[in-house]
Amino acid sequence: MLSPPSAHKLSEKFAVNIVGHDVASSRVPTPNIPPPPPVRYHTCTSLDLDDYFLTLAARNLARLIWLHVVERDDPEHPEYAKRYLLSKISAIQLINAFCIALKRRLRFGPAVDYPDLRNLVVHLEGTMASRADQDALKQQNPSAMKRFGNNLGVTIAASNPRKLIKRSTDNLGNLPHEMLSHLTAYLESIIQGQDAMPTLCCQNLAFTDVRIMADILTGCERILNTPLPLAYSISISQITWVYIMVLPFQLVVKLGWTTIPATMVAAYIILGLAMISQEVENPFGNDVSDLPMDAYCTEIGADLDVLTSVPMVEYKKFTCSPENRPLYPLSHGTVTEWEQRTIEEIRTALRAKTGNVSNNISIDKFE
């Protein structure tokens, strides 16, 4: 990266050799305009980590529920097995619903009547958002003037996404947080009442995953509700525009008619830098530069569907499979063939895989 003096000398050489003007005798004063706050770039990086930890917690919790919650099989009451299975599926579906509800909350969607959320929470009658008037919480279509202003990038034409929440007379609650309460109630029920998750380690891991999901919810809400100060944004905008407006008067004496394209290029770069902070201030929207939250939710939902598509695998089905080659690539022998060997031969083969054996031992011995 060029230092400021080197970059300035390079621009002078370009002006003399290409444009034909000498700007060395009249240096253009360049005020130190503060760049977009680096904390916002760090925020975007931390949001990527939040997505990573949310995906990790969702997968782990779903796997714990699917594999470690015992399904009671009573021959006298076959409906019990179906009830346990459906309860496990419902709990895992609630994890998927939490991710979608979190996405909607971060996009200032206070309702539950959304195509991707409605059928996942329709049975949760106790939530505050489900009791509210759903028609009053729907986003109205913008007028033609607003659409025209949004297409031009006029800031004042943008609608306030918090308007629906502020105008609502109902207590909308916090739908993702209420879903975590339902998940906690399910875990508490299978641990205390029915003893369906007997392993203490799995119990601790399950509640830890719920806590991680609650931490991610709180962290994202903190970022959403802590925008840049209005005075800071106005000050940066004013300084930027004043600098661009006086820039032609500083260049016209030496650059002549080339001041016009030079000013246009400089204004494009400076305004682009000034707009970066506004773009990353709220990374939860639907713009191209925002986080792909729809893709995140789709990926998590697909992972949970794959998990629940097959029952719990018995280890003997893959460890004792005749196609299992436990010492590949050292040996192509199957597990059935290696069962005919002694323990010492198996351990010698394991050492051979690392090269920690005598040179007089041939690889053919293990074939």
Return the structure tokens found at 171. Answer: 């207590």
Whole-number pLDDT of residue 360? 47
Phi and psi of 77, rounded to 5°?
Answer: -130, 80
d(CA 34, CA 242): 14
d(CA 128, CA 121): 12
Neighbours of 118 (CB within 10 A): 13
Using one digit for the tens of pLDDT, what is the confidence trace for 205-224?
Answer: 999 999 999 999 998 888 88
Return the structure tokens found at 212. Answer: 């991680």
Single-letter amino acid code for the residue at 91: A
In the chain, alpha helices (H): 4-14, 38-68, 78-106, 118-121, 128-131, 144-152, 163-167, 175-188, 200-224, 230-255, 259-281, 293-308, 315-319, 335-338, 343-354
Q: What sign results for the dihedral spanned by CA atoms 272, 278, 280, 286? A: negative
Whole-number pLDDT of residue 304? 94
Return the structure tokens found at 90. Answer: 């419902």
Whole-number pLDDT of residue 198? 76
Phi and psi of 161, rounded to 5°?
Answer: -70, -20
Choose among 177, 173, 175, 206: nearest CA to 189.
206
Residue 199, Cβ density class (10 Å: 0-12 exposed, 13-18 middle, ≥19 buried): exposed
Answer left, alpha or beta for residue 72, where phi above 0 means left and psi between -120 and 50 means alpha: beta
d(CA 40, CA 216): 17
Nearest 5°: the CA angle 115, 118, 120 is 115
Which three-class secondary structure state does DSSP give residue 77? strand
What are the CA-CA distances from residue 37 to residues 158, 228, 282, 351 (Å)?
A: 23, 9, 13, 55
- Tokens 């680096």 correspond to what residue? 38
Whole-number pLDDT of residue 128? 65
35 secondary structure, DSSP code: P
Phi and psi of 311, rounded to 5°?
Answer: -70, 175
Q: Identify any residues that bridge with 74 across adjacent strands, giving them in sequence order.
A: 77
d(CA 141, CA 112): 18
**Per-residue model confidence as pLDDT tens for the chain (367 residues):** 444 444 444 444 444 444 444 444 444 454 444 444 444 444 555 566 677 889 999 999 999 999 888 877 766 777 777 888 899 999 999 999 999 999 988 888 777 777 888 888 888 877 766 666 555 566 666 666 666 666 655 555 566 666 666 666 666 778 888 899 999 999 988 888 655 777 788 889 999 999 999 999 998 888 888 777 777 777 777 888 888 898 888 888 888 888 899 989 988 888 887 777 667 777 787 777 778 888 999 999 999 999 999 888 788 888 888 899 998 888 888 999 899 999 998 998 888 888 755 544 554 565 5
